[in-house]
Amino acid sequence: MVSVASAVVAVGTATGMMSALDDRGGSDEARPEVTSSPYLEPGPAVPTSSPSKSASPSPSPSKSAKPSPKPSKAPKPEAKKPKPVAVSTNLYRYPDSHALQWVAANLNDPRRAVIESRLANQPQAVWFAEFAPDTITSRVRTVTSAAAAQGRVPIVVPYAIPQRDCGGPSQGGAGSLGEYDAWIDKFAAGLGSGEVVVILEPDAIALADCMSEGDRGARFASLARAGRVLKAANPNARVYYDAGHSTWRGAGTMAGRLRQAGAASAESSDGIFSNVANFNGTNGEIAYVRQTLDALGGPASLGAVIDTSRNGGRTPPPGEWCDPAGLKLGRAPTLNTGEARIDGYLWIKLPGESDGCQAAPGQFAPDYAYDLAR
């Protein structure tokens, strides 16, 4: 796919993808640490590598050849103040994102006002990409309890499936499905009782070609279990499953995989998500997820959320996935789209965090963020 899983630089939370993934010491009282957002490398219709990156402390190099980073250019100060952008009043904004950290540390930078108002102030996802079972409950709880105190809805991304990214740049996760199941149990224990959106394991379904048929079946069964556990722990949790994106696999193919992974059951699923870390236009993704939902079957209540964090500009051609030029922020995050079966437009991939060309994978790149936002 121009895909979501192509190189997640392990993010504990990637939304903005801020992450709560770093283990602060072994105690379950560890405070979530912002790490880089997983970057998902867009892949071809039949990808040879995973598009998402994990935000791990030492991300693996991307498997695709990448151009050398260009030197940073400081733009001229803006003559006009940036136009105000509507910010969701019901989605939670994680306060320790890389974007907000940069804003706080660069108050006199001429790019700050644009980056702050248009990008950093928007609610984004929080990724949990480090497999640290002893601290995962408290790290998730830190996010969900803070959101509940504000009366807002957090977006959380569990990202620790075994054989993550098929051994690519975002590789990592649990050592076995048994370990993963136990980790999900602990993840679910931190969800609280308020409304929360769960983006379950980007690329885990669309990107599984490196596995045997038997191993895929076992993975999908574990994902079906994960959905049931998450929703049983918090009936107000809305769990969405990986549907890839519109230029990767066909709707029928994805529907078959999604059904096997539990996405058609109201006991484990609220629907599907698409376009994570990719650049496909929103209208095309709407058509794709509706086709996929129709093919999937299941209750009429199932819907879809679409990642619009970087799809407001041009759509790069296949293979051009690493910080491509001409990208813009897409539709602002919201859970009120006005579109049938489209439950939300969300910023799941953290905009402004590099895919690995303008900066290290997952590192906030102000020039890149400024170009996206202006």
Q: Is 203 a catalytic residue?
A: yes
Instruction: Out of 22, 242, 323, 355, pick the active-site residue.
Output: 355
Q: Cα–Cα distance between 285 and 363 in angstroms, integer?
A: 27
* CA 50/CA 8 separation, integer angstroms: 9
State the catalytic residue, choosing from 23, 203, 270, 367.
203
Encoded amino acid at 89, one letter: T
The 3-class SS string of 258-310 reads: HHHCCCCCCCCCCEEEECCCCCCCHHHHHHHHHHHHHHHCCCCCCEEEEECCC
Q: How far apart are the first and last CA of the chain?
A: 27
Active-site entry in 165, 242, 323, 343: 165
State the number of CA atoms in the 13 A half-sphere of 284 facing the CB: 15
**Nearest-angstrom CA–CA distance, 218 and 260:** 10
Is residue 374 classed exposed, middle or buried when 0-12, 13-18 and 19+ CB atoms within 10 A define those classes?
middle
Residue 215: active-site member: no
Query: Which bin fits 167, alpha (ψ -120 to 50), beta or left (φ > 0)?
Result: left
Q: Is 355 a catalytic residue?
A: yes
Q: Which residues does the annotation mark as catalytic?
A: 165, 203, 355
